[in-house]
Amino acid sequence: MLFGPSGAGKTTVVRCIAGLERPDRGHVRFAGETWFDGGRATIRRAASPRRRYVGQNSALFPHLTVRDNVGYGLRAAKRTVRIDEMLALLDLGDLERRYPRELSGGEAQRVALARAVAPEPRLLLLDEPLGALDVPTRQHLRSQLRALIARTGVFAVLVTHDRTEAIALGDEMAVLAEGRIRQVGPALEVFRPLPIWSSPGQWAWSRSCRRTLPQALRPR
């Protein structure tokens, strides 16, 4: 979980991990693989089966049905089975023949999540995927997202500035402010006491939760 106020640098961090933006220097590593090495100009994109990215905009293909969006890019050998699994997991079975223009915002985001998880990525990058939804839809989709991550076992990095969302979905949390990691720890510990922006340019946090940032996210 990457948590912090608007402008803290959360989206920049996750887009660098995704390969959608190029860091000025440093490294991005995951599970022993180097995805970016500033010294050798190595960079791998989010389209790789190793990782998938979902933002606030569902970015569905408008000319494809829900079923075909979910199955986009899957290998033929397992395509039908995997699509059926994803449709069932996110309660999309009744919508499989619809086109994106016929979906609500929440339905479209469920399709985007299903499409991202269908190829069984090793890393799922979620950049405020619920941020553009109304409150009731966000609350419903939040529980589905948590269940999706638990059922599939995918390692996920979620960006949010919403405290309730952070507690509901986060296990380990990195708090960003002014482009720097200020705190890393379990979500419930990070919010005990509640971090506050005491004034513009200042950040208060609990000393008990200061930890070393994981290598893949460590600023250089």
**Residue 100, CA atoms < 13 Å, CB-side half-sphere:** 16
Q: CB under 8 Å to 20, separation ≥6 — which residues?
A: 45, 46, 53
CA dihedral 161, 162, 167, 171 (to 10 degrees): -30
**Residue of 137, 120, 180, 129 lying closest to 158 (CA atoms):** 129
Highest mean pLDDT range out of 23-27, 102-106, 166-170?
102-106
Write the CATH number for 84: 3.40.50.300
pLDDT tens-digit map of 79-100:
999 999 999 999 999 999 999 9
Q: Which domain holds residue 47?
A: 2-217
For the chain, the average pLDDT equals 82
pLDDT at residue 90 in the model = 92
Q: Which residue has the tokens 């933006």?
A: 21
Q: Given a cut of 80, is residue 205 above it in pLDDT?
A: no
Sequence-distant (≥ 6) Cβ neighbours of residue 35 within 8 angstroms: 17, 19, 28, 29, 42, 43, 44, 50
Work out how many domains the chain is built from and give that number. Answer: 1
